[in-house]
Amino acid sequence: MKKNCVFCGEGVKDKTKEHIIPQWLIRLTGDSNREINLGVNYPKQDEWVTNPDSFIRKFSISSFQFPACSKCNSDYSKLENDTKTIIEKLLNKKKVNIGEVDTLLDWFDKVRIGFWLGYYFLNKNMTSITPQFAIAKRLASKDRMLAVYHYSDISDGINFVGVDTLAFQHSPTCFGLRINEYYFFNLSADFLFSKNLGFPYLANPAYITENNHSSLMTTGELVKGKDKVKSRILKREVLDTPVQFIQPIFKDYLGVDSNNDVYKDNDYVTRNSLFQNEGKGAIFVYESGGRYTGIANRNFEVSNNIDDLSIDVSLEEWVRKFSRMVYDYQIHMLTYTPSIHLLDKATQKSIRLQLKNAKKHNKLLMDFMIEKGHF
Backbone phi and psi for residue 63, each to the nearest 5 degrees, phi listed first: -95, 5
Q: Does 134 bind Zn ion (CB under 5 A)?
A: no
In this chain, which stretch among 4-12, 82-90, 174-182, 215-223 interacts with Zn ion, using CB under 5 A?
4-12
Q: Does 322 bind Zn ion (CB under 5 A)?
A: no
Please tell me the distance from the alpha carbon of residue 65 to that of residue 353, in angstroms, as a whole number: 32
Beta-carbon contacts of residue 101 (< 8 Å; ≥ 6 apart): 146, 245, 283, 302
Size, binding site for Zn ion by CB under 5 A: 5
Count of residues in the chain: 375
Q: Which of 20, 61, 72, 86 binds Zn ion (CB under 5 A)?
A: 72
Q: Which amino acid is at 319?
A: V
Question: What string of H, E and C letters represents the secondary structure of 220-276?
Answer: EEEECCCCCCCCCCCCCCCCCCCCEEEECECHHHCCCCHHHCCCCCCHHHHHCEEEH
The DSSP secondary structure of 158-178, one letter per residue, reads EEEESTTSHHHHH---EEEEE
Considering beta carbons, is residue 3 or 291 the nearer one to Zn ion?
A: 3
Considering beta carbons, is residue 5 or 366 the nearer one to Zn ion?
A: 5
Q: Does 325 bind Zn ion (CB under 5 A)?
A: no
Considering beta carbons, is residue 100 or 106 the nearer one to Zn ion?
A: 106
User: Taking the complex as a whole, how short is the minimal distance between the CB of residue 217 and Zn ion, in angstroms?
Assistant: 23
Q: Does 76 bind Zn ion (CB under 5 A)?
A: no
In this chain, which stretch among 64-72, 140-148, 199-207, 284-292 interacts with Zn ion, using CB under 5 A?
64-72
Q: Does 8 bind Zn ion (CB under 5 A)?
A: yes
Q: Does 5 bind Zn ion (CB under 5 A)?
A: yes
Q: Does 69 bind Zn ion (CB under 5 A)?
A: yes
Q: Does 192 bind Zn ion (CB under 5 A)?
A: no
Q: At what angle do helices 98-122 and 77-91 cross, to 10 degrees?
A: 110
User: Taking the complex as a whole, how short is the minimal distance between the CB of residue 186 and Zn ion, in angstroms?
Assistant: 23
How deeply is 275 buried, as exposed, middle or buried, from its count of CB atoms within 10 A (0-12, 13-18, 19+)?
Answer: middle
Q: Does 249 bind Zn ion (CB under 5 A)?
A: no
| Residues at the contact surface with Zn ion, assessed by CB under 5 A | 5, 7-8, 69, 72
